[in-house]
Structure 1
Amino acid sequence: MTDEVLAEQVGYYRSRAAEYDATAYGDLGPARERIARIVGELAPRGRVLELACGTGLWTEPIARVADSVLAVDAAPEAIAIARERLTGGDVTFEVADIFAFTTGERFDVVFFSAWLSHVPAERFAGFWQRLRGLLADGGRVLFIDEPVDNSAKEAFVGDAIVERTLNDGRTFRIVKWFIDPAALSERLRALGWQCSVERDGTDWVVGTARPA
């Protein structure tokens, strides 16, 4: 079932690409200002790998401070939008399944926004093991996601599986769980990571993790 839902999840984000910015962020002006502020605070410098880059709203400010960015997403439709959005910086885009993506490169920062909550429980430990292998010495993982008190907005149809509806009425199942900062930090400590997760407003959490 998980593999079926993950395939459906990719189809959902491919189909949602054209409407993603408006439905995820609403007014893009304030959203971009907020994103730029957070990126400035996190300072993702050096070689950056961005997983699940989507339409590039985070890639854009990251590219301004990073030496280079490799931005990966499973949806070519989203990558196409991101390519048009990016006008500067050393950015390479790659279409790939995040769970199957491999590279011989090592990065100072691995970044992802609104991705961790789509990783199934049974793949969580393996995902973080892969992240460890992607980091250069002294590297760190940075992530943005949604806090647990936002879960009421979703239509759950199973354990960490929700149903989402696009503007055209099509429905998709995707993996979705919400972040409890203390619980996530403890879970990552058990896997050998030092992690801090802070709230940013009522709707986002911002996390930083390093191998212990």
Structure 2
Amino acid sequence: MTDEILADQVGYYRRRAGEYDATAYGDVAAARERIARLVARMRPSGRVLEIACGTGLWTEALVGVADTVVAIDAAPEAVAIARDRVRSGSVTFEVADVFSWTTDDRFDVIFFSAWLSHVPMSRFDQFWQLLRRLLAEDGRVLFIDEPVNVRAKEAYVPDADEIVERRLQDGRKFRIVKNFVDPQALRDRLRDMGWDCQIHRDGSDWIQGEARPRS
């Protein structure tokens, strides 16, 4: 079931790519300002890996502060928009599924926005083990996501705590994983896995997190 849902999730974001900015952010100019402010606060630097880069709004801000950015996403339609948006020699885009992606590179920062909540609980440990392998010494993970208190906005599938039904503008329906972030529960789980994690709120709808593996 997990593989089936993840395939549907990729299909959803492939087909949503053209409408994503308007439906996810509404006012894109205001979103850019907020994104720029958050990226400046998080201070990503050096070699940065961006997971689930989507249409490149966050990539656009990352390239302004990082030495290099590798940005990956499983939806080629979204990557095409991101490539057109971010024309910088310091960024490399790849169409890739993070669960099967491999590289010999190590990164000073791994960043993802609105991605952690799409990781199935059955793959949570695997995902964070992957992040640890990809981090350079003294590296850190930075993330933005949605807190659990906005969970009511989604239409959850009956008897499936982490699967929601989403509808595109043309009416097509898809099932995706959506695990809103409970900050304390996430800190506790990561602590048990050997990570130190700090989480702060940004407004009522986003949380900002930073995690470092303990030596």
1:127-138 to 2 correspondences below 5 Å: 127-138=127-138
Residue matched to 2:57: 57
User: Which structure 2 segments of 5+ residues have no match?
Assistant: none
- CA–CA distance in 2 between the matches of 1:87 and 1:184? 35
Residue matched to 2:91: 91
- CA–CA distance in 1 between the matches of 2:96 and 2:10? 11
User: Which structure 1 segments of 5+ residues have no match?
Assistant: none
Residues 63 and 89, structure 1, Cα contact 8 Å, conserved in 2:
no
Over the residues paired in the alignment, what is the CA RMSD in angstroms? Answer: 0.6
Q: What whole-Å deviation, never above 9, does each CA across 1:20-60 have from its counterpart, x for those lacking one?
A: 00000000111100000000000110000000000000000
TM-fit CA distance, 1:88 = 2.9
1:17-166 to 2 correspondences below 5 Å: 17-157=17-157, 158-166=160-168
Say whether residues 1:210 and 2:212 are aligned partners. yes
- CA–CA distance in 1 between the matches of 2:100 and 2:200? 29
Residue matched to 1:16: 16
SS in 2 for 1:58: helix
Q: Kindly tell me: are residues 207 and 89 of structure 1, through their superposed partners in 2, closer, same or farther at Cα, counting changes over 3 Å? A: farther
Q: Which amino acid aligns with 1:12?
A: Y
SS in 2 for 1:32: helix
Tell me the TM-score normalised to structure 2 length: 0.98
TM-fit CA distance, 1:87 = 2.8
Tell me the TM-score normalised to structure 1 length: 0.99
Q: What whole-Å deviation, never above 9, does each CA across 1:170-212 have from its counterpart, x for those lacking one?
A: 0000000101111101110000000011100000000000001
**Which of 174, 185, 188 is equivalent to 1:186?**
188
- CA–CA distance in 2 between the matches of 1:94 and 1:131? 17
Which runs of structure 1 show a deviation greater than 3 angstroms over 4 or more consecutive aligned residues? Answer: none
- CA–CA distance in 2 between the matches of 1:98 and 1:14? 15
Residues 64 and 89, structure 1, Cα contact 8 Å, conserved in 2:
no
